Amino acid sequence: MKKFNFRKVLDGLTAASPVGSSGGGSGSGAGGSVHPGGTAGAAGTPREEIQETLTSDYFQICKTVRHGFPYLPTALAFDPVQKILAIGTRTGAIRILGRPGVDCYCQHESGAAVLQLQFLINEGALVSACADDALHLWNLRQKRPAILHSLKFNRERITYCHLPFQSKWLYVGTERGNTHIVNIESFILSGYVIMWNKAIELSTKTHPGPVVHLSDSPRDEGKLLIGYENGTIVFWDLRSKRADLRAYYDEAIHSVAWHHEGKQFMCSHSDGSLTLWNLKSPNRPFQTTIPHGKVQRDGKKPESCKPILKVEYKTCKNSEPFVVFSGGLSYDKPCRRPSLTIMHGKAITVLEMDHPIVDFLTLCETPYPNEFQEPYAVVVLLEKDLIVVDLTQTNFPIFENPYPIDIHESPVTCTEYFADCPPDLIPVLYSVGAKHKKQGYSNKEWPISGGAWNLGAQTYPEIIITGHADGSVKFWDASAITLQMLYKLKTSKVFEKQKVGEGKATAEIVEEDPFAVQMMYWCPESRIFCVAGVSAYVIVYRFSKHEVNTEIASLEVRLQCEVEDIITPEPETNPPFPDASSQLPSLKSLSGSTNTVACEGTMKDSIPCLSVKARPVRMPPGYQADLVIQLVWVDGEPPQQITSLAVNSAYGLVAFGNCNGLAVVDFMQKTVLLSMGTLDLYGSSDPYQRQPRSPRKSRQFAAGLTELSDSPVSLELERCKSPTSENRENSFSRSRSSSVSSIDRDSKEAITALFFMESFARKNDSAVSSCLWVGTGLGMVIILSLNLPASDDLRQSEPVMVSPSGTVLTLKGAVLTFACLDCMGTLTHQPYEVWRDPHSADDGDKARKRKLVMHSPSSSQDMGDHQFAVICSEKQAKVFSLPSQTCLYVHNITETSFLLRADVVTLCNSVCLACFCANGHIMTLSLPSLRPLLDMNYLPVTDMRIARTFCFTNEGQALYLSSPTEIQRLTYSQEMCDNLQDMLGDLFTPVETPEAQNRGFLKGLFGGSGQAFDREELFGEATAGKASRSLAQHIPGSGGIEGVRGAAGGVIGDLTRARIALDERGQKLGELDERTASMMASAEAFSKHAHEVMLKYKDKKWYQF
């Protein structure tokens, strides 16, 4: 535990020079450098020592859980006994889902796409086949699954796998048409191979194509049905190693499905047909149907349709069988959506889907293939959704999905994360959100109900908020590493719908997604919520439990930078700029007009991008729009997108800025208090003495500022690019993303951070006052004083005054975040108003009285005579002592990169600064001394999406969007890493395998001899021999080692270790055996060659050589 005595620090260094305006710092990047700015007395040093409790031992990074829909899904599998579902993806990921709370993510190291998944039913294991021709065996009996074995095929490409129920032999079909057999326990190939040329008739001249289907007969496990792509079907007798029968069809096969009695099977084909075959007459199918084909009048075959990609044929004891298939629609309806067809008896039901179908599975009551299947549901995996259809009801309703797989319903544009928020918020949000639930779902329980999950030790409430491209905002309960949607808010409802062709629509500054949410600000205590949209607007929402019908108040703000260096033929025609002395805040917009050459037609001026609804609007309980603020066009120049946003419920103010300047609005009185260009905020305090009236001087000033904003292009973030461009255009290039376009203007200085606080506005103030801290893209921090009415009674009538305090602080790089610590080093929360329902039935004076909390936590009511301001930019962090404005500590976080996100967070009853850098490093610094506590290269920023959505929160948690459809949560807390195993769900739970039905004497006698078939005898090494070692390579997995750790110290551990050692020894012996065989073959070839040479020259004389 380290203690810091500021008095001693400052006393010992009084002779040092003050921190320079360029950001101070030694430039070495070493943290904790002390830079005093005067004598100890001037600094207002603490009289007590600040005890910092956090050390590096408190920090560790690990991923916790991934939420959302698996991105780019490719494969699907279900364990009918364990009742868990697995989904494979194109990026090599596997998601395993059970009951709500049981959600596991694992990743193949190769990143190869998952082709197929097969559960070892009720064994707690899963086989995955990947596009790099590797098979992997996953152990699911641990909370984080791991690979036990891998088998990499070298010469053949895997196309299809089949694992019979309760068998340890996996059939693997390949692109060459061969079928190999793998022992699941040892993951070694059997010597038994079904070669394609043995399977087909010798008279056949063409290759049958890849294996597209493998399955054993439900009637006799010794018979294997092999489907080839070209339409050939072979019924192979495994015992006699020959084909029992062969069937041919002139259309390509996509899938095959058995009738449970094993006497007939169904195939789906590329022409949209289904064929039904009987084993007794394999010459031709005894039934051919094209379910969606039009019947021709002259009795000809129905016309061809789209391919039926998969069919399942499931029998019922008390009704007609179900035939379920995907695809097969008619070609004459090109606009029809992807469909799943369910045929039950004569009834045909077509279920249209919103997205293409990737795969589907019919869930049945029994795992045994030779019993009546009794299907009860169909799981349909779509490209962007997972749907489960209830087959037990005639209208086939879908089940209500309990997983949060609709995160991406509209693309996520921004995120916010709140841990340890007020506990009453989750039930309140759920109660207003539950009223929006859809009707018409199945009344049955969700069928994917496997695994076990219980609430861990971590019980504090967590809320995640996601903003979306369509203007919607979703609130999620994220407590205890789960995710459940609470409430959805549609921000676009405050605006009129845009009608195509209207003149008004041309005022839009983005063509697509004009309502996209760009920034969000939420005060959980007061329940004030604020969003900034991509079309340059801000909406302030208040929370109410009552429905209201009211008009939406709106304000328009002119916010345009006055410095425009436009070369026109007649420079003297430019009107003069307003005098600088007139720049005082008032209730109207103060930015002067820009000088823009008029374009053809009417110049757009003073019009917003969107139209707010003018009529009264019905607002349901929940978040209701209180005020809409829109930036307007100015003299043909469009408003710039908003780069920073802050709201304070105690002050009743909302502030927002862009690359032009800052606006402050009183949302209680619905008035604009301030609308000012960034340069004008400095007044006479501009450390660079910039003169915005002279474009030429402006350009010179910009060249000298290059070192201040030397960040690379800011990854779609809300900050400016280095001002290096000499050639300025009149219009801005706009990015389609929800973030700000990169701006290349000499005179533009974006507002990048805003913070309302009770603070010391001026140097050596004796008491705190209401302030607004403003951070800019050039590393400047300007403090504005807020003059609020003395009593709450006057708040609605007296104007609020905003004035510059004259205080300007500097950092290197764009300012990202602010925080305030009291004299004890405790994080001071911003003032807030305690929530009250604005539409409560009790309208008495008592109910209307605002209850304000100005100092939080309550223990620091007496703020003392000083406080610490923590400011972090994209390059460095500084801690200032106020009111002396002495820079106590500076830490140069990065020289070569820049920060994307920085947050001051609480952890273990202490406070630290958490940073995420563009080079992938996650760092934490102690406060107030800025000692580095953690620095880990963790997450390379491979995508702008990560940069846009990464955020930290309290208690050591963070999140980002790992793919367009998934949220990845992680922790940087050692304690949470240690407790993670207890919080995760169990994928495997001990369940009795259901007993097979009694087949009866006669059925057992005449219905095939499935039980007498011994695969071990047939496929084992003793009978089948060894497979060629060059065909596939066995790779032991890490899962075995993890299993050993779990069983360490006991006999099981010893046995497991011995088994792994034997496996390794066997592998080495095998390699030795292979090398020996290779040497023998080489020696034999040499001997043969020498013998041939000897015979050639045996009878020749020496002179004939």
Q: Which DSSP string corresponds to 835-895?
A: P--TT-S--SHHHHS--EE-SBSGGGSS--S-EEEEEEESSEEEEEEETTTEEEEEEE--S
DSSP letters spanning 718-766: SSPPPS--SS--SS----SSSSPPP---SS---EEEEEEEEE--STT-S
User: Alpha-carbon distance 262 to 219, whole Å?
Assistant: 5
pLDDT in tens, 331-368: 877 667 899 999 998 899 999 999 999 999 999 999 99
The pLDDT score that the predictor gives to residue 304 is 84
pLDDT in tens, 143-188: 899 999 999 999 899 999 999 999 999 999 999 999 999 999 989 8
- Sorted by sequence, the CB contacts under 8 Å of residue 31 that are 6+ apart come out as 891, 892, 925, 930, 931, 932
Of 413, 396, 554, nearest to 473 by C-alpha is 413
Residue 37 pLDDT greater than 60, yes or no: no
pLDDT band at 564 (very low <50, low <70, confident <90, very high): very low
The pLDDT score that the predictor gives to residue 1039 is 67
DSSP letters spanning 197-241: HHHS-TT--S---SEEEEEE-SS-TTEEEEEETTSEEEEEETTTT
38-42, 293-297, 432-436: the lowest-pLDDT one: 38-42
331-345, 502-516, 865-879: the lowest-pLDDT one: 502-516
**DSSP 8-state code for residue 455:** -
Among 293-297, 777-781, 822-826, 1096-1100, the range of highest mean pLDDT: 777-781
**DSSP 8-state code for residue 177:** S
Q: What is the CA radius of gyration of the chain?
A: 36
pLDDT in tens, 671-711: 999 998 888 888 766 666 565 443 333 322 222 222 223 33
Q: Could you give phi then psi for residue 762, rounded to 5 degrees?
A: -120, 160
Residue with token string 């998952």: 114
The pLDDT score that the predictor gives to residue 981 is 85
pLDDT in tens, 62-103: 999 999 999 999 999 999 999 999 999 999 999 999 998 899
CA 970 to chain centre: 12
- Residue 159 in 3-state DSSP? strand
Of 960, 940, 962, nearest to 951 by C-alpha is 960
778-782, 840-844, 1016-1020: the lowest-pLDDT one: 840-844
pLDDT in tens, 115-141: 999 999 999 999 999 999 999 999 999
Residue 468 pLDDT greater than 90, yes or no: yes
Question: Comparing 721 with 1100, which gets the higher pLDDT?
Answer: 1100
The pLDDT score that the predictor gives to residue 199 is 85
Sign of CA dihedral 304, 305, 309, 311: negative
pLDDT band at 1097 (very low <50, low <70, confident <90, very high): low
Residue 720 pLDDT greater than 80, yes or no: no
pLDDT band at 770 (very low <50, low <70, confident <90, very high): very high
Q: Max CA-CA distance within the chain?
A: 130
Among 27-41, 116-130, 319-333, 819-833, the range of highest mean pLDDT: 116-130
Q: Is 868 left (phi over 0), alpha (psi -120 to 50) or beta?
A: beta
- Sorted by sequence, the CB contacts under 8 Å of residue 306 that are 6+ apart come out as 272, 327, 328, 329, 330, 331
DSSP letters spanning 93-130: EEEEE-STT-EEEEE-TT-PPEEEEEEETTTTEEEEEE
Of 448, 453, 452, nearest to 81 by C-alpha is 448
Quote the mean pLDDT of the chain: 80
Are the beta carbons of 506 and 500 closer than 8 angstroms?
no
Provide the angle, in degrees to the nearest 10, between the axes of the packed helices 1051-1097 and 1039-1046: 150
The pLDDT score that the predictor gives to residue 602 is 57
Residue 1060 pLDDT greater than 60, yes or no: no
pLDDT band at 1058 (very low <50, low <70, confident <90, very high): low
pLDDT band at 32 (very low <50, low <70, confident <90, very high): very low
Residue with token string 């029968």: 245
User: Alpha-carbon distance 826 to 175, whole Å?
Assistant: 66
Of 394, 402, 392, nearest to 437 by C-alpha is 402
User: Alpha-carbon distance 929 to 52, whole Å?
Assistant: 9
Q: Could you give phi then psi for residue 601, rounded to 5 degrees?
A: 80, -165
pLDDT band at 429 (very low <50, low <70, confident <90, very high): very high
Question: Comparing 955 with 499, which gets the higher pLDDT?
Answer: 955
Q: How do strand 146-153 and strand 158-162 relate by DSSP bridges?
A: unpaired
pLDDT band at 862 (very low <50, low <70, confident <90, very high): low
Here the tokens at position 615 are 């009529």
Residue 867 pLDDT greater than 60, yes or no: yes
pLDDT in tens, 285-323: 989 999 988 877 766 777 889 999 999 999 999 899 999
Are the beta carbons of 692 and 747 closer than 8 angstroms?
yes
Question: Could you give the percent of the chain with pLDDT greater than 90?
Answer: 54
Are the beta carbons of 66 and 105 closer than 8 angstroms?
yes
Whole-model pTM? 0.81
Of 1017, 994, 995, nearest to 222 by C-alpha is 1017
Here the tokens at position 121 are 């039913």
pLDDT in tens, 742-763: 333 345 789 999 999 999 999 8
What type of residue sits at position 690? R
Residue with token string 């049958």: 208
